[in-house]
Structure 1
Amino acid sequence: MSSLSTTRRSAVAIPALAAVLALSACSPAAEAPSAGTLNVVTTTTQLADFAHQIGGDDISLTSLLAAGASAHHFDPSPKELVALSQADVLIVNGAELEGFIDSAIEASGFAGELVTAADGIDLAEAKEITAEGEHEVEAGGGEAAEHEHDHADHDHAEHGSGGHDHAADEAAGHEHAEDASAGHDDHAEHDHDHGDVNPHLWTSPRYASAMAGEVARGLAKADPEHAADYRERASAYEAELAELDAWVGAQFERVPAAERVLVSGHDSLRYYLHDYGIAYAGAIMPSFEDNAEPSAAELDALTAKITERGVRAIFVESSMSPKLAQTIAREAGITVVDSEALYADSLGPAGSGAETYVAATVHNTQVILEAWGHTPDAVPQGLGAAS
C-alpha cells in the first residue's frame, strides 16, 4: 500500500491522542463492533457509500467523516479513534487527501487491512489532468470541446481503472499490496508519487468505479469467506456507475462548448470537468483545499476572468461558506448557486437527495445544467435515489 503523506498532518500530538484513546475506550461512548461481520472504517462519505454498496450486510460500517464534513480540516474525535482501533479494515482515499490519517493510525493502534482506494487509479493520468486544468486557468482557458469525452466509444472498465485489467489480476491470483496482510507497517515499499495530484478523484464516475473496485478487492482479501459476494456486488455497482457516466456525458454533450465554463468554491471537480468537456475558469479558494485564503488580487483576477469567459454562475460546494462567492457574484453581475450546493467533498445528509455517490452526482449535474439554462433528461431508473 502507498504511504500516506504527513505534510498536512494534524497538529494534535500522538501521545495526547493515545491518552485520550485509552480513556475513551473505557467510556460508554465506545461502541463494540458488531459480532460476526467485518468491521470496516472509512474516511470520507463517498468511500463509506462505496463500502456500503459492495459490503452489504457482510460488514459493519463506520465513516470517520460525517455528511457535510471535509477531510481537508478534520481531526478525529476520541470516539472515532476508538472505532478505528476496533476496525478490521480501514479504507482511505489516498493521494494526500487525509492529512490526519497517519496520526490517527498510530494513536489508535490500528493494525488491520489498509485499503487505499486511489491505488485503483492511474495516478500518472490524474496528475496530467491536474496539470492540464491548472494550465487552462493560467492561459485563460480555451474551448471546452478540446477535452470532449466521447462516451459512445469510451471503454468504461478499461479507462476507469487507468488501464488495469482487474479481471486478469483476479484470475492470476493477483494480491494488490500484499503487505497489508501484516498491517500497515510496510507501506513505504509501495510508495507512489502523489505529488501534484488533485485528491478529489471520486468526482469522475469512471475513477469512482476504479476506486470501488479497489474497495472490493480489499474487502475480499480481508474476508475471503464472502469474497464472491463482494465481487458480485462490485460488478453490479460498477455497471451502475457506467450508466451514470453515460447519462452525465449525454447531458453535457447537448450544451454548446462555449457555455460549458465553470467556477466553483475550490478546486474540487477537476476530474468531473475533464471527463465531460467542461472548461475550468478557476475557483474562489486557490487550492485543492476548501479552507485556503484567497488574496484580494486573486479575487480580482477571478472576477475579471468570469466576465471575460462569460461565466453564468458560481457554484459553491456544500462544505464551504457561500459568503465570498456571493460577493464575487454581485461584483460580476452573475448568479451564485448556493441554496442547492454541489456535493463534492461530502455526500449530503439524510433527506438531501444526495445521500449516495450516484444521487449526489446526478444532483450536481442537474444543478449545473439548470443554472446554465438547460433542462436535463429524465434520470434513468435506478440512478439518483438514495439506497
Structure 2
Amino acid sequence: MTPSIRTLGTVLAIAAISAAAGCGSSKDDSPSSPAAAGKLAVVATTPEVADFARNVGGDAVTVTQIIKPNVDPHDYEPTPADIQAIGAAKLVIKNGVGLEEWLDPTISSAGFTGTVVDTSEGVTLRKGDPEDADMAEGDPHIWHNPRNAKIMSENIEKALVAADPGQADTYRSNFQAYAAKLDKLDADNERKFAALPADQRKLVTNHDAFGYYIDRYQLQFVGSVIPSLDTSAELSAKQIEDLVAKIKETGVKAVFSESSLPPKAAEAIARQAGVQVIGGEDALFGDSLGAPDTPQGTYLGAEEHNTDTIVRALGG
C-alpha cells in the first residue's frame, strides 16, 4: 500500500527527532514517568489505553502516556521524549485500528525490542470510510462502548501477566475489579438513556467519534460537523446546508462540541439551525479524556460526563 502524505511526513519528522534525541534533549523533553525500580515499564499511546493500563497494572507498573489530554491523536507527531520512553519500555500498549499511524516508525527509531499490545484484538469493528485510506481498517474509536473497553483492558491484563508473571495475581485481581466498574458504567448508561424518549435520542457531534456509543445505546446519528472519522476532514458548503436542514427536519435539540476540537464550526451550524451548542466545560470527550486529577481525567469519569451531558441536553 502506498503510504499517505501524513505517514511520509511522520517518518521524516521522526528521522529528525531521532537525530536530535541522539544529541541529547532538554529536561522538559525527558520522559515524565521513568520506570521506578522493580516496576514494569509500560508506554501507552492514548489517554484511554493509558488509563486502562494504570487500572490493571496498579502499583506494579509505571505507565508513560504519550498523547496528553486534548491532543488530537489523528495528527500526532512524536517527540524525543516519546522515543526515549519507548526505547526504555518493556511493553508498548496501543489502541490499534490504525489510530496511531505514527507508532511503527517511532518504535523502529527507538530500537524497541519488547512487546506491542494491540488492545483492539477481539473487538468487533465498525467499518471505516473505504475512500479514506487512514481509516481503511475500521472505526478506531472503539473505547466508546464500555464492553469494548472491557476487552481492551483484558488484553492489557494478559500482556502484563505474560511480561511479569510474578505479579500475575495482582494484575488479574485489578482487572476483575476494573471490569466490574466498566459493567456498572454500561448499566448506568443504559438506564439513563432508557429514561429519555426514543424520539429524542438524536445526536449531532463534532466528528464521527461516537459510532460505537451510538450503536450500543441505540441512538440516532443525525450527522457531524466534520463528516469523517478523521478530524482533519472538512465540511463543504453543501454539506453544511444539508446538515442544517437535517437538524431542523429531525428536531434535533443540540449540537455537541468536543473537548479536543475547536468549537467555531459547531457553533456556526447550531446558530444556523436555531439550536443550542453544547461546549466549554460541557463539551464531549470524543478523542481524549479530561485534565489529570479531575473526574473526567479517567475513562469512567469522561464517559459518565458524556452520557449525563447528552441526556440532559436532549431531554431538557
Q: TM-score, normalised on structure 2?
A: 0.91
The equivalent of 1:346 in structure 2 is 288
Residues 1:300 and 1:45: Cα distance change in structure 2 (over 3 Å): same
**Match status 1:60 vs 2:2:** no
**Match status 1:216 vs 2:218:** no
Residue 199 of structure 1: CA displacement?
0.4
CA distance in 2, matches of 1:298, 1:247: 35
CA distance in 1, matches of 2:30, 2:304: 36
Residues 1:203 and 1:320: Cα distance change in structure 2 (over 3 Å): same
CA distance in 1, matches of 2:63, 2:295: 21
Residue 28 of structure 1: CA displacement?
7.9
| Residue pair 2:141, 2:287 contacting (<8 A) in 1 also | yes
Residues 1:58 and 1:307: Cα distance change in structure 2 (over 3 Å): same
The equivalent of 2:303 in structure 1 is 361
The equivalent of 1:74 in structure 2 is 76
Which of 238, 241, 249 is equivalent to 1:297? 238
Which of 118, 121, 127 is equivalent to 2:120? 118
Residue 210 of structure 1: CA displacement?
0.7
Alignment of 1:211-360 (within 5 A): 211-339=152-280, 340-350=282-292, 352-360=294-302
Root mean square deviation, CA, Å? 2.0
SS in 2 for 1:293: coil
CA distance in 2, matches of 1:229, 1:6: 42
Q: Deviations over 1:20-68 (max 9, x none)?
A: 2312369684355322110000110000100000000100111000111
Q: Deviations over 1:159-192 (max 9, x none)?
A: xxxxxxxxxxxxxxxxxxxxxxxxxxxxxxxxxx
The equivalent of 1:105 in structure 2 is 107
| Residue pair 1:41, 1:83 contacting (<8 A) in 2 also | yes
Worse-superposed segment, 194-203 or 296-305: 194-203
| Residue pair 1:120, 1:213 contacting (<8 A) in 2 also | no
SS in 1 for 2:171: helix
Q: Deviations over 1:259-301 (max 9, x none)?
A: 1100000000110111101000111101101222111111111
- Residue-pair matches, total: 305
CA distance in 2, matches of 1:202, 1:292: 22
| Residue pair 2:86, 2:92 contacting (<8 A) in 1 also | yes
Letter of the structure 1 residue corresponding to residue 286 of structure 2: A
Q: Deviations over 1:185-243 (max 9, x none)?
A: xxxxxxxxx83511000000111111111111111111111112111111111111011
Q: TM-score, normalised on structure 1?
A: 0.75
Q: Unaligned stretches of 5+ in structure 2?
A: none
CA distance in 2, matches of 1:110, 1:259: 49
Percentage identity across paired residues of the two chains: 37
The equivalent of 1:17 in structure 2 is 17
Residues 1:117 and 1:6: Cα distance change in structure 2 (over 3 Å): farther
| Residue pair 2:18, 2:80 contacting (<8 A) in 1 also | no
Residues 1:260 and 1:33: Cα distance change in structure 2 (over 3 Å): same
Residues 1:10 and 1:50: Cα distance change in structure 2 (over 3 Å): farther
The equivalent of 1:164 in structure 2 is none
Worse-superposed segment, 251-260 or 7-16: 7-16
SS in 2 for 1:120: coil
CA distance in 1, matches of 2:72, 2:161: 28
Q: Unaligned stretches of 5+ in structure 1?
A: 135-193, 375-387
Q: Deviations over 1:311-365 (max 9, x none)?
A: 1000011110000011111110000001211012111003543011111111111
Q: Deviations over 1:93-145 (max 9, x none)?
A: 1101112111211111111111000013133xx33xx68xx9xxxxxxxxxxx
CA distance in 2, matches of 1:314, 1:352: 25
| Residue pair 1:10, 1:103 contacting (<8 A) in 2 also | no
